[in-house]
Amino acid sequence: MKAMRPSVRGVNYATSPLLASKTPPWRSRFVVALLALAFLVLVGRAVQIQVLDNDFYLMQGEKRYTKTLKLPASRGRILDRQGIVLATSVPAPSVWAVPRTFQADVEQRKALSRLLDLSPAELQARTEGEGEFAWLRRQVDTATWEQVKALGVRGVHQQPEFRRSYPEGEAAAHIVGFTDIEENGQEGIELAFQNKLDGKPGSRTVIIDRLGRVIEDQGERLEPVHGGDVTLSIDSKVQFFAWQRVRDAVLEHNAKGGSCVVLDALTGEVLALANYPSFDPSRRQALSGAQLRNRALTDIFEPGSVMKPFVIAWALETGRVTPETSIQTAPGSITITGSTIKDAHPHGALSVAQVVQKSSNVGTVKLAMAMSSREMWELYSQAGFGRKPQLEFPGAVTGRLRPYKTWRPIEQATMSYGYGLSASLFQLAHSYTVFARDGDLVPVTMLRRDDAAAAVPAGRGSAPAPVQGVRVLSPQVAQQVRQMLQQAAGPGGTAPKAQAIGYSVGGKTGTARKQEGKGYSSSRYRAWFVGLAPVSAPRIVVAVMVDEPSKGVFYGGEVAAPVFSQVVQQTLRMMNVSPDIEVKPQVIVKPGPSEQESF
Residue positions annotated with a catalytic role: 305
For residue 251, the number of C-alpha atoms closer than 13 Å in the C-beta half-sphere is: 8
- Do 67 and 205 meet the contact criterion of CB atoms below 8 Å apart? yes
User: CB of 406 within 8 A of CB of 206?
Assistant: no
Helix/strand/coil (H, E, C) string of 75-144?
CCCEECCCCCEEEEEEECCEEEECCCCCECCHHHHHHHHHHCCCCHHHHHHHHCCCCCCEEEECCCCHHH
3-state class of 448 per DSSP?
A: coil
**Helix, strand, coil abundance in the chain, percent, nearest 5:** 35, 25, 40
Asked if 333 and 341 touch (Cβ cutoff 8 Å), the reply is yes
Beta strand spans in 265-313 (E): 270-276, 300-301
* DSSP code for 283: B
Contacts of 593 (CB under 8 A, 6+ apart): 496
Distance CA 449, CA 525 (A): 37
Distances (CA, A) of 493 to 142, 329, 591, 597: 59, 17, 11, 9
The C-alpha atoms of residue 435 and residue 452 are separated, in whole angstroms, by: 21
Question: 441, 453, 444, 467: which is closest to 393 by C-alpha?
Answer: 444
Closest CA to 507 of 522, 518, 497: 497
13-27 burial string, b = 16+ CB within 10 Å, else e? eeeeeeeeeeeeeee
CB-based contact 358:352 (threshold 8 Å): no
Three-state SS at 203: strand
Residue 517 backbone class (left: φ over 0; alpha: ψ -120 to 50; beta: rest): left
**The amino acid at 437:** R
Phi-psi region of 328 (alpha: psi -120 to 50; beta: other; left: phi over 0): beta
Distances (CA, A) of 71 to 136, 199, 313, 481, 585: 19, 11, 60, 60, 61
Contact 206, 69 (CB under 8 A): yes
- SS3 string, 383-426, reads CCCCCCCCCCCCCCCCCECCCHHHCCHHHHHHHHCCCCCEEEHH
250-288 exposure pattern, b = at least 16 Cβ within 10 A, e = fewer: beebebbbbbbbbbbbbbbbbbbbbbbbbbebeeeeeee
On the 0-12 / 13-18 / 19+ scale of CB atoms within 10 A, 169 is middle
